Chains A and B, each alone.
Chain A
């Protein structure tokens, strides 16, 4: 019998202007981060609607991370400030419902921070792996 190592599925919403470019830089610099991090490009971190996050969990994500430009650097001037408030309140609510708070995260990653992107993903994936599979926000119908 083959025992496969548990690898968490991570969905990373990355803003087009900073974090997606940061991920690109990480790739160009051959910096390793888990292959199970699936990047979804969004125009701005504030495009991420709470529904996206829940849908990611529904479809099998074990952790969801939202990456955007550093506060003050938003391509649209203020988008990430809204992200900051929305995600703070949303994450607090998820915790209130008893969902592990380590499964969600916001990180600011600039286009120059390829190393930070890789380090963040490695660290986040490790933390989520320690939690194990997402059971509390899972949809059994979507399991294979």
Chain B
């Protein structure tokens, strides 16, 4: 489904490796089954030929890796960024989390990534091979006689269904055609929840958050979560804990985490992608984004480097906390 090919990416990277522009490439490494790709560092064109992949399962956002990888690296690091990843990239630069000079960004177009769980819902378990064929994903399994052909649009990851931008906001070289910021319906689900009664909303979130196993994957994958030591890992903070002992601690963790990234979250959707328990965590972030847009004017974190987050800014005419529910489309 992707318009750009693995070979194009390898060619681009090989050229930059060969002429000494970059020393290392951060790309997707092949796995066991075609869909299980791992972010991998490549040092040579040959390594890339052997182990680099680019397919419909390259969802991982590489921006956060730049914080740790650029610290120890000799020379420049080439990183492939999809449009949504570039927003996280800019946001991290805004927060001075890494040195821009140590990174060479190759912007790559993205047609949306697939969610393997959705693929398996259609194909079933036991995948023996998986490949793209035009707009379709072709899956062979141990149990089906013939390959299963799936329309890639039907198995898009949640965040890609509601893609907010096909435009790269940062790059050194751009492969393929530049896209535009797209109108998405990403706030529809937030609006639907808002229109519920408080009891229904409470029940919805109790059900979702009770699934939390506190693996911290949402936090550890989040490009906005780059604190050296998280408050929930710090025994001196008084709120540190390693398990969701009860519903309060589940709420506490997710409210505080979402609030801490509010105004900085670019809505990249990594939190929901990595959650092993399928909690729709992106809805918490989107609620903050939607509110910030409504209360303080449209703001997209990461759209430009150096922009000021609405929560570290103010005007003297701001809405009072007592006014936020006035005129809201209310449940009965």
Contacts and interface: CB of A to CB of B under 8 A. Distances in A.
Interface residues of B, number: 47
B222 to A, nearest CB: 17
Interface stretch (A11-19, A25-33, A48-56): A48-56
B320 interface: yes
Interface stretch (A2-10, A35-43, A99-107, A110-118): A99-107
Contacts of B325: 92, 95, 101
Interface in B279-332: 284, 287-288, 291-292, 295-296, 310-316, 318-322, 324-325
A98 B200 contact: yes
Given A84-B314, A138-B248, A98 B202 contact: yes
B321 A97 contact: no
Given A89-B288, A96-B193, A106-B321, A54 B203 contact: no
Contacts of A95: 198, 325
B194 interface: yes
B248 A84 contact: no
A92 B248 contact: no
A102 to B, nearest CB: 10
A64 to B, nearest CB: 12
B231 A51 contact: yes
Contact of A58 (B193, B252, B284, B312): B252
Contacts of A97: 201-202, 205, 251, 255
Interface in B163-216: 190, 193-194, 198-206
A141 B246 contact: yes
Contacts of B202: 97-99, 136
Interface in A69-112: 71-72, 78, 81-82, 84-101, 104-106
Contacts of A101: 198, 325
Contacts, number: 112
B57 interface: no
B178 to A, nearest CB: 33
A45 to B, nearest CB: 11
B258 interface: yes
B248 A93 contact: no
Nearest to A108: B320
Given A78-B314, A86-B311, A105 B199 contact: no
B259 A93 contact: yes
Contacts of B190: 96
Contacts of A139: 246, 248-249
Contacts of A90: 259
12 contacts: A50-B255, A54-B256, A55-B238, A84-B318, A85-B295, A89-B262, A96-B190, A96-B201, A105-B322, A106-B320, A106-B322, A138-B248
Interface of B: 190, 193-194, 198-206, 231, 238-239, 245-246, 248-249, 251-252, 255-256, 258-259, 262, 284, 287-288, 291-292, 295-296, 310-316, 318-322, 324-325
Query: Closest 5 CB pairs between A and B?
Result: A98-B202, A81-B314, A98-B201, A139-B248, A106-B321
